[in-house]
Structure formats: C-alpha cells, structure tokens
Structure 1
Amino acid sequence: MSRPPDYEWAVLDESQDPIPGEPHEVRAEAKRLSKMAETIRDQIGLLTDIAGDENVGKFADKLRDTASELKGDLGKVATRYETVSGYLGSWADDLDHCQSESLKALTKAQAVAPTANSPEVKPAAGQPAPKLTPEQQHHKDVLDHAKQAAQGELTQAKTQLAHTKSHRDERAHHWMQKIEDTEHDGLKDSRWDGIKDFIHEHAGLIKLLADICTWIVTALIIVSLFIPGLDIATALLGGLMLAALLGHTAVALTGDGSWTDVAMDAFAIVTLGTAAWAKGLLDGSTEFAEGVANATRASTEAEEGVTAATKAGTEGVDIAEGANGSLFNRAGSWLADYGTSVGQKFLAGGEKEVLENMTKLRQLAEEFPNTRLFPNTLTRAGGFLKTVRIINGAANAADEFSHWAGGSDTFNFIGNLVHGKGFDGDLLHPVVEGDTSKPLPIFGRFKELTTVEVGS
C-alpha cells in the first residue's frame, strides 16, 4: 500500500514521510537470500557425495579434501544468508508496524486538526468585546472546550509519532547490528577484499586527490611556460603523475573509477620519460660540442682574445645606450625581450634546458662555420627538439582533453561545496559526482564503459 504524500504530514509538523521505506522490498530481499542459501545447500549435498565417493579416481584423496574444505566454507556462507534473511524479515515486520502506527497518528491528527487550528474570533482593534447572551456564551464555551480537547489530541498524535520514530530507529539499529555481527562467523575475507573495501569506502577522497595532482601538474607546466628561466623538476612532475596514476588505478580496480583515467596518467608518465630521454641525448650532444669547441679555442687563444675585447667594447656601448634610454623605451624593450624569451621557450617544448642547449649549439655553429661538426650537431639536435615538441605537445593536449572532456572531480567537488553538499558525513568522504562529470557525452560514455570492477 502506498504511503500518504509528503504534504499530508504537515499536520504533524513533518515536511515529509517520517517513516519511509518499502517493507515488501525488504521481504523480497530476504526471500532472495533464502533461495540463495537453498541453492548453496544443494551444492553442499553434491560436494558431500563427492567426498564420500570411493570411485573418484587417482586423485581421490586430494579431491575429497578439497570438497570437504569447500563444503565447510559454503556451509558458513549458507548459514550467513539464512541468518541475514531472517533478520531482514524481522526488520520488515518492525518497519511495517511502525508505518502502521504512523498512519494511526496521521489519521488522528487529520481528524482533529480543523478544530484544533480553527481561528479564534476576536473583536476589531479598538472595539470592545460584544456582550454575549447566556446561550451565546454557552455555545462559545462549548467551542472553546472542543478546541482545547482537539489541541490535546493533536499533541498526543505528535507524541505518538515521535515515539514511533524513536522505536523505528531503535529497531533499525538493532537489526543492523545483528546483520553486522554475522560477519564474525569464521568466514574470513581475503586481504584484497579488505583493501578493496577500504578503497571503495574512500573512493571519493582518492579520486579528488588524484585529480588535484593532475591539476597541479597542469598549473606548473603552464606557469613554467611564462617564466623563461624556470624549469620544473622532472622528479616533481613524475611524482605527482605517479600519485595520480596510483589513485586512479586503485579506484578503477574496485569499480569506482575509469580505466580511461589510468590510461591518460600512464600516457603522461610515458611521455615524461620519453621527453627526458630526448633531453638527455640533447644534453650529451651539447656537452660533446662544447668540449670540442674548448679544444679548438685553446689552439687560437690570441684570436679569441681579440674577439673577447671587441665583444666587451660592444657590450659597453649597449650598456651606455641602455642607461640613456627612457623608462618607456626600457619597459618596451623588456616586454619585447620577455615575449621573445617566452616564444623561444614555447618553441623549445616548454623546456628551459632544451632552449639553452639549442642556443649554445647555434652559437657554436656560428662561431665555427668552417667546422662540419657543429652544424651537423645542430641538425641532429633539431631532431631531438622536434621530439620534445611532439611529446610535450601530445602530453599537454591529452591532459587538457582529459580535464575538460572527461570531467573534473575537483570542479565537481567545488560545485557541491558551494551548494552545501561537499561532504557525505565527514571530511574523508567528499562528494565528487556532479554535472561536469560528462561534459562530452561520447567521451563520458566511453569512461563509463571502462569502469568495470575486476579482482572481486
């Protein structure tokens, strides 16, 4: 039988149904568990037959031992299902009783509410109360008495409902504790089951922290692009990416997260490693070229001395001219130089070290134009530069696509926090589901398809 709509409970000062629930659904679950227990008991019978069969072949002893051991575990499972089924049935009866009592309180309240809440007739402001005849006074006294009695019954109905709610809460806690106690039946979960339960319990927090790590990586990369002299340590980026990968992998294993996020994190780490490899080759080429250049310079010290003197004189002229320039010109020159530096770093794949090595190699190629070594090294370094550009570009594109097309747990959490729904009970259970979880429907659907529990 359906329950009264929420608005009807207002007569008892309730904004919604105070005793919600579907006892028939609880009984259906109890029946399902009972049938599962029956099925398990049937399988135990088969195992009993196997354990007692004298014609099972050369592996008789091993098969009997395994069947006996499995039979014992299945017996515990069946007993657990049977016990929980009984508890659920009892809880359904208690819930049914509480709902019935709440309906009685509602019926009583609805019957007396019109009288209890009837308006009191008062004379207009500034006007004296009219003098009543004995009959009118008697009629008024009867109405007042009836109103007081109705108000008393309405109060009793509210008290009855309060007691019913308290009884419901007590019985719910009682049966919940009984069901939880069935876990102490000697049937132990595996270590992975315990880890999986912990991850599932804190999936929201893990997903939020992993997403924050990816956003920190994104922010660091963007900031470094606009600071020419800054290079973010590969170890720092790698540590953040690894933390995100571990977090996303954990929730994916328990079915709470998407393997697409794991793939994106793995791609980011692979590209970081490949870019580091290309930068290492470029470093080696630059160091070798500088070593050859130093040896070449050592054989022509006199010529280099003249060149150094000329360069110093030129720098002196530049400094003097800079000092004489206006503040506006100097600011414009600084902005131009800054823009050039940012552009050069951007073309170097956002890597300060790559930019410095390419600058050194170009200078060496210009300084020794008649030596084939340096132009060839510069050409080879150009290949490394293209590799870094492609790798970092692909990594940044994948990172941004994952954030905006796949949704952001961080943005979802912030949105929920603004609306007062940021946490589910405490700080360890942030709510990360929200409207931005699937900004690109096709990609969001793909992430759903890659959210599959394994290892259970």
Structure 2
Amino acid sequence: MGRAAASGDWSVVGESRDPTPGDPQEVAAIGRELRLLADAIERQAGEIEALAGVEGWQSIAAAEFRAEADGAAGRLRKAFVRYDTAARVMGTSVREWDDGCPHQDWASELARAQRVADTALREAEEADAERRTASNALECLTDDVEDDDPERTGLENRVATAGETVARCRTEVERAKEIHREGASRAAAAIREVITTDGLKDSRWERFREALTLQNVAKWAGRIAAVAGTFSLFLGWVPFLGQALIAITLIAGVVSLACNLILAIRGEGSWLDVALDVVGLATFGIGAAVLRSGRLAVQGIKATARREAYKAAQRTVPNREIARTTAKKMVPDAVTGQKISAVIGGMPPRRLSFLPMPRTPNNALTWPARLDPDIRTLTNELRRIDPKVFREPATGAAVQNFNSQVAAWWVSTGTGTAAGWWAFGRTFN
C-alpha cells in the first residue's frame, strides 16, 4: 500500500521526487519469506543430525549416511546463518514506534525515514500555503498602511514564521534521507558480510546471474557506448573496424537506454541517465543526417564551381568549347548541362546560419573532421577543384553551406561524446 505523502509536492522541501522511496510492508514480506526459509533449513539440519545420531542404526548404509550427513548438516547450518541474518536485517514486521534511535531491521528503519519525511512534507506544505496567503494579503494592503501598522507587521511575521518552518522541514527531510541511506547501507553491509564469511561458496553461474542485474547491464552498456563511440571518431577510417565500432556504440547505447528507462520508471534509477542516453543516440542520428546533407552540399559546390569556372573562362576566351574544356579541367567529375541547375537547387539549407563560415574547403573545421571517413571523402572531392574557383562569390557561398554542415556535425558529435562520457562518469558514483 503506497503512502499518500509519496505523491505530494516534494519541491516545497527542495526535492524533485520522494526522497525516501520503498515500501516497508514489502520489505517485511521479504523478511518473513526469508525467516520461513531459515526455519525450514534449521529443521532439516536438526532432522539430519537426529537421524545420524540414532545409536541403534548400525550398518554399512548407516556409516555412509553419517559420513555424508556431517557435511550436509554443516552446510545447512551455514545456509541457516545466511538466511537468518538476512531475515533479521530485512525485518519481518514494521515497528511503528519511534524513540529517535535506529531500528536494527531495514523495514522498520525505512518506515521511520518515511515518517520523518512525510511529517516534514505535511508541515512544509501547510507553512507554504500560509506563507502564500500572508504574502498575498500583504500585496493587497494599500500604500497608506504604515510600516509599523499592526496588520502589516502581523502579516510580515506570518510570512517570516512560515519561511522558518519550511526551512526547518527541509532540514528534517535531509535527516530522513540520511536515515534512509544509512539504514540501507547497514542492511546491505550485514548481508554482504555474512555472505563473504559464512563459508558457503556460490557457483560461477550464481555469481554471474547476480551480476546480471539491470543496474550492472546499464552501467557496462553505458561504459561500452562511451568508449566505442570515442574510438569510432579516431578509428572510423579503418575498414570494418570503424563500422564495427559504430555498431557496438549504437547497440550498447540502445541497451543502456532500455535498462535506465526501466530503472527510472521503477524509481530505482535516474531520469538524468535516461536523458544522457537519449542525447547520445539522438546525436548519432543527427550526425548521419548531417553527413547526408554534406554529400548534397558537395555535389552542389561542384555544380556551382563548374558553372562559375565556365563563366570565368568565357570572359577570358569567348569560345564555348574552350570554356567547357577549361571548366572541366578546373572542376572534374561535376554534372553538366541542365543537371547543374537541378543539383544546385537540391542543396540543403545552410545550418547554424547565425555563425560566420569559411569560404574555402580547407579550414580549421574540416581538417580535424577528416578523422571521420565520410567527411574525409567529401573534402577529398573538393580538393580536386582548382582553388581559383573558390574566389567566385557563388562558389564561396556554396562552400560556406558545406562548412555549416561540418560545423553541425561537430556540434552533434561533441554533444553526443560529452553526454556519453558524463554518463560514463556517473557509473562510478
């Protein structure tokens, strides 16, 4: 059964959500299951020891049974210690009394933390409503009411008192969070201690299954996505390896997003981790779209350059055939004829139009971006164009369009990489 206060306005006390999540009754239910299991294990150990201790049973079978029973009973006793400790630590019931001292079981300590937080929230909400009422009343006073007027001073005192109450409640919520944090840590430490010292050894499969939790999968998928994504920037030009790194980055990013989304919905994770995963995946999509725009921009540059080179040649030598040959040499592998206008018209819109862009293809934007194999291929195509053509205003404007696509690629890639490494750092918190 959920708490009514859990859905209250926690922002009043400076929290974005319930600061003491969990259900004490569910914790106690788990504790009772563990207690039943511990008691059953103890009974089985006692029955085995009793049967092995029957003096009248003397035979070869009895001797073999006793030899096996000693080890089995010992292992059961060790298992009992593990489950008995877990049951005591979790708690089998929720103690409602509170004398200010920590409870030994997690169920009762969780309930104590929630009582402190819920009481603080209730008082803070009442005080906040009182503060808003008094503040509104103050604003409604006419200008002729003196500063020392009893009505004004009374309202000001109500506002100040309510503010102090809210501040005190925020301190209480911090205390509740500390109770919650310390109680959970004590319970986890006690269970971890008995598991490591009770002499029982988990199998490799059990250890693997324990590690295969949503938290661990999300953590390692996020780390893999960040590392593989960064390597893909520098090794993307390597055949097969570059494609493999991109595929690994995308797959790991999707897995991390799915796990973090489930954890956030359950209240066990952070929506910030979800947002970072979304940003990382979205920037991959944006980067791919920008590269497609870059290819169209390069085709538009070559078409524009061919047209401008032809015009420039005609101004020097008014012979169409010579002008075409000159333009073809200056701008190889470009469309001709009526296709020129179609390709120029198909150029993508310029991105980041509020920023000035270089008018030549070799610049501080494109040089480091050549680490990406697609951008390197595009800039290599532009390097085959005679540099003199870029002096023409129309060609320079077309190159600015391409450079804006590269700048957008830098923004998306930088944002995605930063989000990935921020998420990577959070996995160690």
- TM-score, normalized by length of structure 2? 0.46
Q: Larger C-alpha radius of gyration, 1 or 2? A: 1
- TM-score, normalized by length of structure 1? 0.43
